[in-house]
Amino acid sequence: MAQWTSTVGAAQLARQLRAQQPRPLPPGSRKPPAYRALADGVRLLVLEGRVPVAARLPAERELALALALSRTTVAAAYEALRTEGFLESRRGAGSWTAVPAGNPLPARGLEPLPPESLGSMIDLGCASLPAPEPWLTRAVRGALEELPPYAHTHGDYPAGLPALRQTIADRYTGSGVPTMPEQIMVTTGAMGAIDAICHLFAGRGERIAVESPSYANILQLMKEVGARLVPVAMEEGLGGWDMNRWRQVLRDAAPRLAYVVADFHNPTGALADERQRRALVEAARSAGTVLIADETMSELRLDAVDMPRRVCAFDPAGSTVLTVGSASKAFWAGMRIGWVRAAPDVIRSLVAARAYADMGTPVLEQLAVNWLMRTGGWEEAVALRRGQARENRDALVRAVRKELPEWEFEVPHGGLTLWVRTGGLSGSRLAVAGERVGVRVPSGPRFGVDGAFEGYVRLPFTVGGPVADEAAVRLAAAAELVGSGAAAGAEAPRTFVA
């Protein structure tokens, strides 16, 4: 019986290997043999989690053709990986990736650190802040007071509590987008909303256009439902969407879905302007593409900038844009309440399909969010969240500019993340070295498709004050390790360039 659980094609593996940036060689050192560079490139992909453990690699002949190398070179690289414990093989079953005994499996997403690790490790992996007290406690108390009537019911509300659906609809209407409660489905976080949309609209093998870079966990979710991701490059810095590229992709690839974050984009922090929003909706409508507009960052405006109208404001018929919102970023990640705004017939289809997934969203948490939005507590809590994120952003920017002046970034006017070019260093190696010096940072390739953005890292606004200063000091130490050729627990993997 085969030991592999997924496969990596030769063309895909070749793209990922070529996307790795080469590390400058020390003066007087010799270029490593081609087989060694190839083996180290594959090992880095496995350590970073971009090639899963137990993934079947292409046959030697196939990979040799894709990389324009000799089969002997590929065979030698595979043998080196087997010797080091990163590859296992069996006659008739092929070769599949592994990790040596004692090595932790690489994380596939951006999971938060367990609480017991927080004392020794500064966590820059998870873009979430502590709850904005006293509003969490007040909301839960308010929810408990309103719970008794619901406790006498079955408790199953697949579309969400009617009271919360009405409240969310009223908020859209108040922002200039008339909305009925029949256009709202409450979900278990924004991830639950997008998972439901993908399962309804994008069957296995369907194309989904995504920003490049984009939010890592959503990319992983879409891959796991079997979608074929079509990346669309963002403009440089905070420029937002490149509409020429979007029009071309929507016209040529005709994706079933497109996923965008128009408001303080994760990870770049870009804010799409009204011209871009109108043009993208028009292009999606012309191509027959359903557009998912993720608004989870929309309330995190940190500077005095004018906010454009919502993306759904440019789709009055509701036939093109599905809007996703959430309490997780604006309020607290532990409040797993999200929602979808769409045409009533789409909501009915999503609700019907949900019966085979999670059935519904917890009643108590829905009541808490409804209490916040009805009483004005939401605005108070979000204002508190904005102030905290603003202070953290400014502290982190100062610290990184002081300790790592060669790193490049633009400061966004909102959101929770800083997208940083690392001065030619490998983001993947920085992530590995960071674990060694006590700072956890996600590398750029997590936010791309097929290994893009090796020269970037994402830094969230989750720490401030002296902790931000210490985080920058540890990042500088990690950068020094990478620049000198050291790595966490072993010789730094060399990159492969065909």
Instruction: Please provide the DSSP assignment of 444-480 as one string.
Output: GGGGSSSS--TTEEEEES---HHHHHHHHHHHHHHHH
Quote the pLDDT of residue 490.
39
DSSP 228: E
Q: Where are the alpha helices (DSSP H) in 95-215?
A: 135-146, 148-151, 162-174, 189-201
Please write the tens of the pLDDT for every residue from 286-340.
999 999 999 999 999 999 999 999 999 999 878 899 999 999 999 999 999 999 9
pTM above 0.85, yes or no: no
| Percentage of the chain modeled with pLDDT above 90 | 67
Mean pLDDT, range 375-382, rounded to an integer: 96
- Residue 451 scores a pLDDT above 80: no
Quote the pLDDT of residue 44.
80
pLDDT tier for residue 269 given thresholds of 50, 70 and 90: very high
pLDDT tier for residue 358 given thresholds of 50, 70 and 90: confident
Length in residues, the chain: 498
Mean pLDDT, range 376-397, rounded to an integer: 96
Rounded Cα distance between 82 and 261, Å, is 42
Mean pLDDT, range 10-29, rounded to an integer: 75
Cα dihedral sign, 37-38-41-46: negative
Quote the pLDDT of residue 175.
95
**16-25, 371-380, 431-440, 474-483: segment of lowest average pLDDT:** 16-25
pLDDT tier for residue 29 given thresholds of 50, 70 and 90: low
Cβ-contact 230, 251 below 8 angstroms: no
- Residue 398 scores a pLDDT above 50: yes
Cβ-contact 478, 434 below 8 angstroms: yes
Please write the tens of the pLDDT for every residue from 219-251.
999 998 899 899 888 888 898 899 998 999 999
Please write the tens of the pLDDT for every residue from 156-184.
899 999 999 999 999 999 999 999 999 99
117 vs 220: which has the higher pLDDT: 220
Rounded Cα distance between 273 and 413, Å, is 13
Mean pLDDT, range 200-208, rounded to an integer: 90
DSSP assignment string, 58-113: PPHHHHHHHHT--HHHHHHHHHHHHHHTSEEEETTTEEEE---TTPPPPPSS-PPP
Quote the pLDDT of residue 495.
35
104 contacts: CB under 8 Å, gap ≥ 6: none
**21-25, 108-112, 148-152: segment of lowest average pLDDT:** 108-112
Rounded Cα distance between 117 and 231, Å, is 35
pLDDT tier for residue 116 given thresholds of 50, 70 and 90: low
Mean pLDDT, range 470-483, rounded to an integer: 95
List the end-to-end C-alpha distance of the chain, in Å, as a whole number: 34
Quote the pLDDT of residue 497.
30
**45-54, 144-153, 317-326, 489-498: segment of lowest average pLDDT:** 489-498
Rounded Cα distance between 6 and 175, Å, is 46
73 contacts: CB under 8 Å, gap ≥ 6: 34, 35, 38, 64
Mean pLDDT, range 400-424, rounded to an integer: 95
40 contacts: CB under 8 Å, gap ≥ 6: 32, 493, 494, 495, 496
Quote the pLDDT of residue 260.
98
- Residue 48 scores a pLDDT above 70: no
